[in-house]
């Protein structure tokens, strides 16, 4: 209910105008590394020194034409070049609607293919590849096409250099995961961040949480490398107990969190020897991403509204 409300208010043009004007200074900077590629590289370097990996997201989604999709694709190629030049290992997270999926699925695939090919070509001093592309999952009008594009990228370009996100709030995810279990893959499990109707997504948090645990178990037992992407400490505890019980080797899973949220918990996991990664978004088009972070937590809205009003 709360998420529904905040995401629909965020669609209002008066609200978006005001927030875009002052938002980064007033609070969005907590969740976004900055507006420029150099900001993202600086955060990457700092986290790497702490033994924590990153996945970089150049913010943007839902482009309306081929030119915008081409420019978005180029921004990711530039990002991979910058990681290569800086000698940094790094993953990138890509939204296919930014690559043109909503304009034409073939365009989304072609742009994503160029990014995966470039990522696969970046190697370290030992000649091993060191970049990887995660296909983010967006709202349900794009679920089937996103999975189809991901499958083609894995089959036709590089099974190891590309992975997919699946959302625990969707009823369909169990079946999607089963269908994807024809080969070992890299799957990030998240709860899901968009506004979805009750006939497609569990409305109750308890059901989403229970499904999250079932999906992690399903993915691990199918032989996928699982990225457990949540800030929910109860879930993390249960998942760790489960992984220990089934003796899952540490290279078969990773914990991931969003920039600005519970980094101290991620640091503890890293210190305990688990693989960890922070999702680091950057760029000027931060509004939609920021709205989803507000919608996840009432306290964020209160904090931000107070800052905006006092301004």
Which residues contact ligand FAD by CB under 6 A?
A: 136-137, 165, 167, 190-194, 229-232, 256-258, 261, 279, 293, 296-297, 300
Q: Which of 277, 164, 184 is nearest to 230 (CA)?
A: 277
Residue 129, exposed/middle/buried by CB under 10 A (0-12, 13-18, 19+)? middle
Active site annotation includes 136: yes
The smaller minimum CB distance to ligand FAD, of residues 94 and 120, is found at 94
The minimum distance between CB 175 and ligand FAD, in angstroms, equals: 18
List the Cα angle 118/120/122 in 5-degree steps: 75
* Partner residues linked to 256 by β-bridges: 229, 277
Helix (H, G, I), strand (E, B) or coil at 165: strand
Tell the smallest beta-carbon distance from residue 189 to ligand FAD (Å).
Answer: 9
Say which of 118, 161, 186, 188 is annotated catalytic: 188
- Residue 95 Cβ vs ligand FAD, minimum distance, rounded to whole Å: 8
Tokens linked to 152: 């083609």
Catalytic residue among 57, 84, 136, 139: 136
Of the candidates 219, 256, 232, the residue with the CA atom closest to the CA atom of residue 56? 256
Minimal distance, residue 247 CB to ligand FAD, in Å: 25
Nearer to ligand FAD, 84 or 139 (CB): 139
Give the residue with the Cβ less far from ligand FAD, 65 or 229: 229
Instruction: Name the residue nearer to ligand FAD (CB basis): 66 or 76.
Output: 76
Which residue, 66 or 237, has its beta carbon nearer to ligand FAD? 237
Tokens of 285: 């088009």
Per residue, the 3-state secondary structure of 81-150, as one string, reads: HHHHHHCCCEEEEECCCCCCCCCCHHHHHHHHHHHHHHHHHCECCCCCECEEEEECCCCHHHHHHHHHHH
Instruction: Compute the least distance from the CB of residue 126 to ligand FAD, in Å.
Output: 27
Indicate which residues carry an active-site annotation. 136, 188
């Amino acid at each position: 209910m709360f998420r529904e409300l905040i995401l629909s208010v965020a669609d209002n043009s008066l609200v978006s105008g005001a927030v875009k004007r002052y938002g980064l200074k007033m609070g969005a900077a907590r969740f976004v590394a900055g507006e420029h590629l150099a900001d993202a590289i600086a955060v990457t370097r700092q986290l790497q020194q702490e033994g924590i990996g990153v996945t970089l997201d150049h913010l943007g989604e839902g482009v309306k034409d081929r030119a915008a999709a081409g420019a978005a694709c180029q921004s990711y190629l530039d990002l991979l070049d910058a990681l290569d030049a800086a000698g940094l290992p790094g993953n990138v997270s890509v939204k296919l609607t930014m690559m043109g999926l909503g304009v034409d699925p073939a365009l989304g695939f072609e742009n994503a293919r160029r990014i995966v090919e470039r990522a696969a070509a970046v190697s370290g001093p030992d000649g091993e590849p060191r970049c990887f592309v995660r296909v983010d999952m967006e709202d349900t009008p794009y679920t089937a096409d996103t999975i189809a594009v991901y499958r083609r990228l894995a089959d036709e370009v590089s099974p190891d250099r590309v992975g997919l996100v699946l959302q625990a709030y969707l009823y369909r995810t169990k079946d999607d995961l089963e269908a994807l279990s024809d080969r070992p893959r890299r799957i990030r499990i998240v709860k899901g961040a968009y506004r979805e109707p009750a006939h497609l997504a569990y409305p109750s948090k308890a059901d989403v949480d229970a499904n999250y645990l079932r999906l992690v178990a399903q993915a691990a037992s199918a032989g996928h490398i699982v990225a457990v992407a949540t800030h929910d400490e109860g879930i993390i505890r249960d998942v760790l107990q489960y992984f220990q019980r089934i003796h899952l080797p540490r290279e078969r899973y990773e914990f991931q969190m969003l920039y600005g949220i519970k980094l101290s918990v991620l640091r503890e996991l890293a210190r305990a020897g688990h693989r960890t990664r922070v999702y680091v978004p950057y760029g000027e088009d931060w509004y939609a991403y920021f709205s989803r972070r507000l919608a996840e937590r009432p306290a964020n809205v209160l904090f931000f509204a107070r800052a905006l009003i006092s301004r």
